[in-house]
């Protein structure tokens, strides 16, 4: 099952079974009153306790219709104050740990300016009531999520499964979303639930679990952290009928099952024109499919199916995708993916120097072992020194600034131009590109000096 699921139905009675099946976090609801259609929507204290005692994490979302079917009157400053007070009362009664999150649902595709202004007023009113005791999440479209977040009234964005809603597809291409609800509803022992994928950097999306001393702890458990560390990008199956899921990367391997059009998957890695995929977001491989029938909607393939087998081949394919840093808030998820090929101790934001992460990614995609470091000069001890007779695709290592310092740059050697080297690399003018770098001289206000050229 998916690591994170949400349900408007009582599901805590299966908490131990769900954990054994791979679930990490259950998202349940707060509200004022249950409806006749959803008589179990609000979590009660006994279920709240049962989920935590089973070793699962819990997250909560408040919804009393939430503007569904265009009822914007549900989402005003007045109702935000009312809903915030109710959410706070339930959180305190159930002893939800402070510092965790309460999401508030906007269950309609709002995009007109007056509606967005009303929704922002709703969240600001709710935030004023919570007064920093709990972080705030927004469930809804990409447009609504961005509007509320940019107004400073939300910490987390949970994208509804309706990808046709305004701004959702665009936001999925960034790492600004914490959760993405899959559009296909599922069931466990007759209880309906939705699966969710977790965004590439959001190990903490406001969930909480029982700590070692029985006190609730906030953020991801070690098993969720391990699963997320394997995530690269998300895709959907793009076929007219079905796509075979096979036991290995080729048609000679047995068919394990078939996937219908629109099935959402996590791509773990590539093998030629085949993709190893994870169907549940749990970090485990479920099989292989032909990459030609996958349409990526968040991030991109680690390597295109036409790429060759050397790190330089991979680098050239990455060049074609036009990878560049995101201006303003947010990060390019592909650069985040590059960082994940290292120990990423300095973080995974695209403003963290990523030239070494890019080279590590390319080296690993070619089946080799890199330096596992974000430090450019870590390549100075990698492979063999071929400075006397370099060839295209070798790795050029530079000092940047003081020769005895730690700053540097690394990229793929393309051509010796005398006093300069043409380098294909990442974080060159904030993107993947070719750039002429001096062997010993100034560039962009800093001094560069070639240390060596390496070959694995």
* pLDDT(283) > 80: no
pLDDT category, 236, cuts 50, 70, 90?
confident
* Highest mean pLDDT of the ranges 61-75, 211-225, 226-240, 257-271: 61-75
Q: Which CATH architecture has domain 333-455?
A: Alpha-Beta Complex (3.90)
As a whole number of angstroms, the distance between CA 63 and CA 103 comes to 9
Banded pLDDT at 366 (limits 50, 70, 90): confident
How many Å apart are CA 425 and CA 319, to the nearest integer? Answer: 9
Q: What average pLDDT does this structure show over 122-127?
A: 98
Superfamily of domain 233-301: SH3 Domains (2.30.30.40)
The answer to whether the predicted template modeling score (pTM) of the entire model surpasses 0.85 is: no
Mean pLDDT calculated for residue range 65-88: 97
- The pLDDT assigned to 304 comes to 45
**Start-end ranges of CATH 3.20.20.80 in the chain?**
4-221
Which DSSP string do the residues of 106-163 spell out, in sequence order?
A: --S---SHHHHHHHHHHHHHHHHHHTTSSEEEEEE-HHHHHHHHHTT--SEEEE-S-T
Please tell me the class of the 4-221 domain.
Answer: alpha beta
pLDDT reported for residue 228 = 65
- Distance in angstroms (rounded) separating the CA atoms of residues 339 and 356: 9
Average pLDDT over residues 42-68: 96
The CATH 3.90.1720 portion of the chain extends over: 333-455
CA end-to-end span of the chain: 40
- Mapping DSSP to helix (H, G, I), strand (E, B) and coil, where does residue 357 land? helix
Tens of pLDDT, residue by residue over 189-212, are 999 999 998 887 788 999 998 865
- Binned at pLDDT 50, 70 and 90, residue 368 comes out as confident
Question: Which region among 88-92, 295-299, 360-364 has the lowest average model confidence (pLDDT)?
Answer: 295-299
Euclidean distance between CA atoms 88 and 106, whole angstroms: 18
Edge-to-edge strands of the sheet including 233-237? 255-259, 243-246, 287-290, 274-278, 264-271, 233-237, 294-298
Distance CA 29, CA 39 (A): 12
CA angle centred on 185, ends 182 and 187, rounded to 5°: 130
Model confidence pLDDT, tens digit, residues 20-31: 988 999 999 999
Say yes or no to pLDDT of 444 above 80: yes
């Amino acid at each position: 099952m998916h690591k994170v699921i949400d349900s408007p139905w009582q599901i805590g009675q299966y908490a131990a079974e769900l954990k054994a099946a791979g679930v990490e976090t259950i998202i349940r609801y707060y509200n004022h009153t249950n409806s006749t259609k959803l008589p179990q929507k609000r979590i009660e204290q006994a279920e709240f306790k049962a989920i935590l005692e089973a070793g699962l994490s819990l997250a909560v979302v408040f919804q009393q219709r939430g503007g569904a079917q265009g009822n914007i009157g549900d989402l005003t400053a007045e109702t935000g104050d009312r809903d915030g007070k109710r959410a706070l009362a339930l959180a305190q009664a159930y002893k939800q740990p402070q510092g965790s999150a309460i999401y508030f649902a906007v269950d309609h595709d709002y995009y007109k300016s007056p509606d967005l202004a009303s929704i922002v007023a709703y969240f600001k009113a709710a935030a004023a009531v919570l007064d920093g005791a709990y972080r705030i999440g927004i469930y809804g479209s990409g447009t609504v999520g961005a509007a509320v977040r940019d107004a400073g009234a939300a910490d987390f964005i949970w994208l509804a499964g309706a990808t046709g809603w305004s701004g959702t597809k665009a936001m999925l291409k960034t790492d600004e979303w914490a959760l993405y609800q899959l559009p296909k509803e599922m069931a466990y022992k007759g209880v309906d639930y939705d699966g969710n994928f977790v965004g590439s950097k959001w190990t903490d999306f406001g969930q909480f679990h029982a700590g070692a001393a029985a006190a609730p702890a906030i953020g991801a458990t070690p098993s969720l952290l391990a699963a997320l560390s394997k995530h690269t990008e998300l895709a959907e199956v793009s076929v007219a009928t079905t796509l075979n899921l096979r036991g290995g990367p080729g048609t000679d391997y047995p068919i394990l099952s078939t996937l219908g059009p629109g099935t959402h998957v996590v791509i773990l890695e590539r093998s030629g024109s085949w993709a190893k995929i994870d169907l549940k977001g749990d970090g485990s491989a479920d099989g292989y499919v032909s990459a030609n029938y996958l349409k990526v909607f968040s991030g991109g393939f680690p390597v295109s199916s036409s790429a060759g087998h050397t790190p330089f081949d991979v680098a050239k394919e990455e060049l074609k995708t036009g990878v560049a840093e995101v201006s303003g808030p947010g990060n390019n998820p592909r650069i985040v993916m590059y960082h994940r090929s290292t120990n990423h101790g300095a973080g995974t934001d695209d403003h963290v120097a990523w030239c070494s992460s890019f080279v590590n990614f390319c080296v690993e995609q070619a089946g080799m072992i890199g330096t596992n470091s974000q430090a450019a000069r870590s390549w100075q001890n990698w492979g063999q020194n071929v400075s006397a007779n370099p060839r295209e695709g070798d790795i050029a290592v530079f000092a940047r600034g003081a020769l005895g310092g730690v700053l540097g740059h690394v990229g793929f050697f393309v051509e010796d131009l005398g006093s300069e080297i043409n380098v294909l690399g990442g974080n060159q003018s904030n993107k993947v590109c070719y750039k002429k770098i001096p062997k010993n001289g100034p560039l962009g206000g800093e001094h560069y000096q070639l240390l060596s050229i390496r070959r694995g």
